[in-house]
Amino acid sequence: MKTVTTPREVRETIDQAKSVGARVGFVPTMGALHEGHASLVRMARARTGFVAASIFVNPRQFGPKEDIARYPRAFEPDRRILEDLGCDLLFHPGVADLYSPADRTRVSVEGLSDVLCGAARAGHFHGVALVVAKLFNIVRPDEAYFGQKDAQQAVIIQRMAADLDFPVSIVLGSTVREVDGLAMSSRNVYLDSVSRAKAPAMYRALCAARERIKAGERSPSPLAAMMAQTMREAGFDVEYAAVVDGGTLGALERIEGTVLIACAGRIAGTRLIDNVALRVSGAAVEETLLEFPEWSAYVR
């Protein structure tokens, strides 16, 4: 595996891969890798001939009182994981490699970035969209892989890729969970033994909502209230619990079509998020991924 730090080195390496006809798969990360990231790299390895990954803790997506200073960093273990998974290229830039101190350009995906997680993290998704746009321009992948756990991020990136005509297909991977249901996250390392034991209540709340939808519930409000109560009883400070449209992330009057059941909250100071996506048609309910082909592939 080749490790580089500058956009120029990435472009040179990708040019070489594309010159022999390789399709490029790309997995952007902030490091502190876990099985969720590994599953995306394996997907890229199976689907494309050349796999690139990035590790970059993006300062633009952290608010002034958020955890960028203590965000877990483990570059050498991460590098070994990627190498063992068969990654071909690792892009590990510094802040100065990606951002000019004089830059003025911002990327905003309107209507999707200021709800759910965006309502509590002002500017977060603007930072996500900006760095992903830059990485897409540098790596020029044919496919890019993201996890369903960050469902709002996935919807925003799919919309951005379509609106800005990036020639890349956005591919989602299922949320990878611990045995007790807790969604794998780099921030799980913040949890002490007590909060770790309580944290799976978030997924239990989502599962309870899913089962009530399968049983015929079609009103979002009682499900949101139930999820929030389940989380509070486990010790969460609830940020939101909601059932929203899976494409627009907007409020629903009735649960039908592709819907996202999503929760966020803090337990012992650690912010966790999780979600379940469903396709609801009449009495039929099935789990799904929030992939929208008309958004995620360059078709012009």
- pLDDT tens readout for residues 226-263: 999 999 999 999 999 999 999 999 999 999 999 999 99
Catalytic positions: 37
**Cα–Cα separations (whole angstroms), residue 148 to 6, 40, 231, 262, 270:** 29, 11, 21, 11, 20
Report the percentage of the chain scoring pLDDT > 70.
97
Percentage of the chain with pLDDT > 90?
Answer: 94
Number of Cβ within 10 Å of residue 154's Cβ equals: 24
Task: Give pTM, 2 decimals.
Answer: 0.95
Percentage helix, strand, coil for the chain under 3-state DSSP, each rounded to 5: 40, 20, 35
Q: Which residue has the tokens 């490091």?
A: 31
pLDDT at residue 65, rounded to an integer: 81
Cβ pair 150, 158 in contact under 8 A: no
Please name the residue that has the structure tokens 């990327």: 107
72-105: pLDDT as tens digits? 999 999 999 999 999 999 999 999 999 999 999 9
Could you give all domains of the chain from N- to C-terminal order, each with its CATH number?
A: 2-176 (3.40.50.620), 192-287 (3.30.1300.10)
pLDDT tens digits for range 172-230: 999 999 999 999 999 999 999 999 999 999 999 999 999 999 999 999 999 999 999 99
pLDDT tens profile 37-46: 999 999 999 9
Query: What pLDDT is attached to residue 291?
Result: 81
Query: Does residue 137 surpass a pLDDT of 80?
Result: yes
Residue 293: its pLDDT value, please? 60
Contacts of 220 (CB under 8 A, 6+ apart): 242, 243, 244, 251, 252, 253, 254, 255
Instruction: Please report the DSSP string for 18-65 in residue order.
Output: HHTT--EEEEEE-S---HHHHHHHHHHHHH-SEEEEEE---GGGS-TT
- Give the containing element (helix H, strand E) for 169: strand 169-173
Asked if pLDDT for residue 12 goes beyond 60, the answer is yes
What pLDDT score does 140 carry?
A: 98
Read off the pLDDT of residues 270-299 as tens digits, 9 standing for 90 and up.
999 999 999 999 999 999 999 876 554 444
Q: Which pLDDT does position 294 carry in this prediction?
A: 57
